[in-house]
Structure 1
């Protein structure tokens, strides 16, 4: 005896899971709430189990429902993959995509990509995991994220790394700081002043420690933190200077903060898309991946005369950090 449910019933189930509401799910799949309830009841009768616990105030998955949800999602994704190339299903499907990214990318680059993506696919929900570089890699390798955007991963055998841009580290300081009057600053000059830094859990710290093995600060940092956004706040408060990725700086019209290129040596980092090797993207994730690449090709970031890649955040006034 066959199981008597169809694609519409699975889509109704996924809509309720993702939106947590029968009313919102009915609106999302463009049917009445009673009709959506009938689809869920039909699916539960076919499976012989209850998938949801329903009260007047909430809808939650049962234990069996939680087990079934990933399988239902995979079935619908596999169907979308099968239909790709036959017709455009992405613009009409209700789904989700999960992106892991370092905070600077989440703050400066992805908002524009998400806005563009949402205009094209308004029914697909985007989830951002803004985490450290190591956590981004972990989310991609474990499958928690469809793909990631980070500056680490090019050496990992389980990961494919596609370069998006390259940027250099700069000295961030207040406009009234002595370093602000210089055209360039050496690392030794930077460390002659009070400075703040990221701690050893930061991927940026690992990159800098490797690149600056021959440069020794004259004294420990005044303060350590995990994120560059916090560093910028400390600099703005007058605690010192710091080395930060160039895309982390606010726009040139910022009234307090400015930056100066760091030299001897010039330290750069490569930011790219990281994917688990051999794992195909879902249609929703593939479209988001394409959106990011299209934005990069269309000049959202451009190379400056020094050969680094500059970012629009330096013109818009947004702060970014890792």
Structure 2
């Protein structure tokens, strides 16, 4: 009535009869012990009535905002999504996901971190991230996994290195006696010849920029997955794939098995899977 100006219009807005609205108003005034309107015409609020109107409208606005927030969360348009991924995926797949589906993410709060696989598994176990993209490890118990892609290992060497004179696959025998710059990725290849190479390595580095710099300086060769090599921007170096078809890094989408993803996180997960599948298949004719 304070906004409509009369009892009949207020009743129409509320979908109630005028008598029902009048009774509710009397009950509220009785409860408060003071009138809300100055006259029987109900068109001018008392000081108490103005205060009640202000408080009621504020609470209604908060209620409407709460309903919209709940609807947005349920419809995956709102939400906080925490993602951790290995650097190669962060630098190749994730930009494509954000570029293609940026409108779907416009009202989400997405946190993206790149780190090594062991750190990702640790963060998942502590519930500090919602989605992890990494290789499986010994600490994968209690995780739900979905295979995302395979990333073949290859040898990276300086253009002046004898291995750079050919472009075909390299077998393990060709690497015998080579000076290897070892890293945590190549150390995970479960092949005796590779284990021997790492056992004899005099230098180990984990930072991809440092590894590439040492290869540029002709200190030795290194072994990395192809996506990691691309992410490290190995410009001016030679990448030759390994002939061993088993020498591949398997990257999985991971999350806590017992934890239910929010609708927003599920939507992000679906978009990552779709983009990865498109990139693997390549353009269609």
TM-score by shorter chain over 0.5: yes
Pair 1:217-2:197 in alignment: yes
Out of 161, 168, 181, which is 1:177 matched to? 161
1:186–1:128: structure 2 CA closer, same or farther, 3 Å change rule? same
Partner deviation per Cα, 1:255-305 (whole Å, 9 max, x = no partner)? 5112112235741121110111021111221111011011123x21248xx
Count how many residue pairs are aligned between Structure 1 and Structure 2: 220
Partner of 1:9: none
3-state SS of the aligned residue for 1:279?
A: coil
Out of 136, 139, 149, which is 2:120 matched to? 136
3-state SS of the aligned residue for 1:109?
A: helix
Out of 300, 304, 314, which is 2:279 matched to? 300
Out of 137, 146, 154, which is 1:162 matched to? 146
Partner of 1:244: 224
Range moving further from structure 2, 118-127 or 98-107: 118-127
Segments of 5+ residues of structure 2 without an aligned counterpart are 1-53
Contact 1:154 1:161 in 2 (8 A): no
Contact 1:133 1:150 in 2 (8 A): yes
1:302–1:154: structure 2 CA closer, same or farther, 3 Å change rule? farther
1:80–1:151: structure 2 CA closer, same or farther, 3 Å change rule? farther
1:186–1:215: structure 2 CA closer, same or farther, 3 Å change rule? farther
Segments of 5+ residues of structure 1 without an aligned counterpart are 1-37, 47-74, 304-322
Partner of 1:257: 237
Partner deviation per Cα, 1:150-206 (whole Å, 9 max, x = no partner)? 1115983300110111122100112222101232222342242222111xxx3x255
Out of 77, 82, 93, which is 1:98 matched to? 82
CA distance in 2, matches of 1:138, 1:267: 25
> TM-score of the superposition, structure 2-length normalised?
0.66
3-state SS of the aligned residue for 1:247?
A: helix
Pair 1:187-2:166 in alignment: no
Larger radius of gyration: 2
> TM-score of the superposition, structure 1-length normalised?
0.59
Name the Cα RMSD after superposition: 3.5
Within-5 A mapping of 1:1-322: 79=70, 84=74, 89-91=75-77, 93=78, 95-153=79-137, 156-182=140-166, 183-198=168-183, 202=184, 204-208=185-189, 210-212=190-192, 215-217=195-197, 220-250=200-230, 256-264=236-244, 266-297=246-277, 299-302=278-281
Contact 2:144 2:254 in 1 (8 A): yes
1:119–1:173: structure 2 CA closer, same or farther, 3 Å change rule? farther
Contact 1:250 1:257 in 2 (8 A): no
CA distance in 1, matches of 2:136, 2:205: 20
Contact 1:187 1:215 in 2 (8 A): no
CA distance in 1, matches of 2:256, 2:198: 42
CA distance in 1, matches of 2:198, 2:267: 49
Contact 2:135 2:251 in 1 (8 A): yes
